[in-house]
Structure formats: structure tokens, C-alpha cells
Structure 1
Amino acid sequence: MTKVVAFMSMSLDGYVADLEDGVDEVFDWYFAGDVDVPTFNPGFTFHVSEASAEHLRALMGEVGAMLTGRRTSDRADAWGGQHPFGVPAYVVTHQMPEGWPRPDTAVHFVTDGLESAVAQAKAAAGDKIVGMHGPDTIRQCLDAGLLDEIRVDLVPLLLGSGIRMFDRVGNAPLTLGNPTVVEGVGVTHLSYPVLKE
């Protein structure tokens, strides 16, 4: 069965972005090391520690499709039509953005609901995982019982305010399984299975 796996960088106090949607502080670890991890997009390379490089390479090899919300897609300018992991991306939205759909793109906007977007991403991923970005979309999938695992790249930072990773989780309290832990430089990679009833 294709797993749906959320992954986000997050500050120690639970924020994934500042109040203006800025993510520089929580994404600093992607560019703070001396090991190059190229992405599918030419000219876009991560520079991380050896431990984080191993973590990122494994993650990119696991992901067969991406799922995200409109806000994240807009911030990334729909990745220019191709997600950096080189896989199809499905964006949950209420309305098709201007200029879409476009030919020769691997970014698909899904307007008929979250369940449809998850089903399309799973079909595209095949025997790999569906990766997920975006705190609101992650929360919706968690509330709907569609999420199998949560991976958090925890950075040693206190933002104090901003956009929370787990704001208004509907079925809280929710107990997760024991984590796996990878210690990077400027980041700790945590992976928690979502326990199903």
C-alpha cells in the first residue's frame, strides 16, 4: 500500500514559517553544509551535512509523487512546473490558478477535494510514497485519517510566532509511534508513524 508521508522543517517551538510566510530560518539547514545534494531542477542544489545528505538522498529516492496545498505551491511559484524531486506534484485548491493547466508540466491542481488529490497522488506514486508539504494540508489529511507518517526536520530555533505546523488538529490528542532519529548539523530529522485505530 502506498504510504502518505508528511515532511516539513519546523522550529523548536512548532512554527514552519514566520507571520509573512518567510521560511528562511527554518530552511537554513538545507544550505549550511559542505555536501552537495542536487535536485531535479538544474541549478538548484542543497548543501547539507553528511548525515542530512544521506537522509535527503533516501527521501528523494522514496518519493513517487508530492501533495501540497495552494499556499505552499504559490510560495514556490508551482516550482516552475516541476517539483525539485522530479516527481508529479498535486496541489489541493478550491480554484484553478490563472494560467493553469499548462502543457508539459508535472504540477497538477486538483479542485475536487482532498480525497481526490490523495488518490491521484497515490496512483502516480505507484509503489513509492506520497510526500506531503504544507501545514494546512497535512492537518486536513491527519484529521481525515489519510496520513501514515510524519517527518519533521526540527531546527534549533525559536521563532516565537508565525504559522504553526499542527494548528487546530481536529482529532487531538493523537499519540504517534516511536520516532526514528537522524542527527544532522543544525537540524534533527524525526520520523513518527501515525498510529491507526
Structure 2
Amino acid sequence: MGKIITGATMSLDGYIAGPKESGFDLLFQWYGNGDAEIPSASPDVPPIRVSAASAELIRPEWRDTGALVVGRYLYDMTNAWGGRHPIDVTTVVLTHRRPDDRPEDDENFVFVTEGIEAAVSTARKLAGDKNVVVNGGQMARQALEAGLLDEVGIELVPVVLGGGKTLFGELGVTPVQFEGPTTVVEGTGVTHLRYRVKDGRRDA
């Protein structure tokens, strides 16, 4: 069985987005500052071009991912990535109400309305022996509070945003301890950090 993982690109002061969802251009400069290309399955998202060190870490992580869990906000904000997520796996969308234009689930998107435990459980079935990646923000907060996460990945970039959205939002259970970093990779314009959740996962 694979792991349940969350993570995000983060500023030095701990934000994954600036005030009013600003700062993405600064947070994701490292997506285009290298010579190693990683393809995208989305028709709306171009391939990323990162440093060799970043690519050596990201390529196997993407290959080992079997499904994603995201919230309706991100699904709508990205316009469903043009129909397919860049990582090229099925995306489970946690929502209060499925979109009118998607009456049925398919190999691209599955919609779950019963909560984070049901969303993660659905994603685990889709992923098989591969990992499930839970998007940052509200989805990450809910998964951590429910005891569902195994690992957290941070892509730390040298910028200070001064405010905005954090990885776990207003977390209702604190403190939460982590082990590591288990991995430290120095890319160009980014430091990749991986941590294990200390108390492990409670199965969904």
C-alpha cells in the first residue's frame, strides 16, 4: 500500500500563497529555471523545466503517484487543468456538490461529497500500490486532523510574502510533530524537504 502525502511550495515565512492568492509568480519561479524538462499531461499546463537536482527528485515522485485529492476551489481555479491533471493520474475532488457539466466520474476526475476520509479512501483504491497526494491548504489540514497523512513535502523558496495562506491553514490539532527531514535536495532557487508525520497514519 502506498503512502498518503501532502506538500507545497512555500515561502521562507511559511506561506503557500500570498495575500488574496498573490505571489505565485515568485513561489514557482523554480518551475522554469532549469534545463531538465518534466512533461505535463494537462493541455493547459506546459512542461516544467527545473534543475537536474530537482528533476531527479520530482520524476520518481510523480511516477510513484497513483491518485490526487484536491478541493473544489482548486479544481475551479485551474479550470480542471483543461481536463487532465499535469501528473497524469485520476484526481479525486472533494466538494459539496459535483459540477453540473460532469454528471459522471471518469478516468480524469472522481467527485466525492462525504468528507476527507471518503476522498482519501477513494483515492487509495484508485492508486493501488502507489502513493496518494493530497493538495495543500484545506485538504491538507483536514487530512492531518483526521490522522491520514504519512509524509509532508516542502519546496522552500527564497522569498518572503509577508502574509497569505499557509500549508495547513487554521489547524485544529496542535502541536503536530514530524521526523526528519528525511530528504534534503538543493535545487536551483528551491530547497526540497521531506518529513514523516511522527505518529503515522490512521487508515481511512
Q: TM-score range by the shorter chain?
A: over 0.9
Deviates more, 1:62-71 or 1:74-83: 74-83
Q: Kindly provide the CA deviation profile for residues 1-47 of structure 1, in whole angstroms up to 9, marking residues without a partner as x.
A: 32110021111111111223232221111111122111223572101
Distance 1:132 1:37 in 2: 20
1:193 aligns with 2:196: yes
Structure 1 contact 82–105 (Cα < 8 Å) conserved: no
User: How many equivalent pairs are there?
Assistant: 197
The sequence identity of aligned pairs, in percent, is 44
Deviation at 1:150, TM superposition (A): 0.4
Structure 1 residue 103 displacement after superposition? 6.7
Query: Gaps spanning 5+ residues in structure 2: where?
Result: none
CA distance in structure 1 between the aligned counterparts of 2:196 and 2:186, rounded to whole angstroms: 18
Deviates more, 1:35-44 or 1:74-83: 35-44
Q: Give the 3-state SS of the residue equivalent to 1:166 in structure 2.
A: coil
Counterparts of 1:87 and 1:105 in 2: how far apart (Å)? Answer: 8
Once structures 1 and 2 are overlaid, which stretch shifts more, 94-103 or 21-30?
94-103
TM-score by length of 1: 0.93
SS of match in other structure, 2:21: coil
Q: TM-score, normalised to structure 2's length? A: 0.90
Contact 1:81 / 1:105 at 8 angstroms: preserved in 2? no
- Look up the match of 2:29: 28
Amino acid at match of 2:3: K
Residue equivalent to 1:114: 116
Aligned 8 A contact 1:101 1:108 in 2: no
What SS does the corresponding residue of 2:28 show, helix, strand or coil?
A: helix
Asked whether the 8 Å contact 1:39–1:84 carries over to 2, the reply is yes
- Distance across 2 between alignment mates of 1:77 and 1:84: 13
Moved over 4 A (4+): 102-105
| Counterparts of 2:50 and 2:11, CA distance in 1 | 18
Q: Distance in 2 between matches of 1:94 and 1:144?
A: 18
- Taking the TM superposition and a 5 Å limit, the aligned residue runs for 1:114-133 are 114-133=116-135
- In structure 1, runs of 5+ residues without a counterpart are none
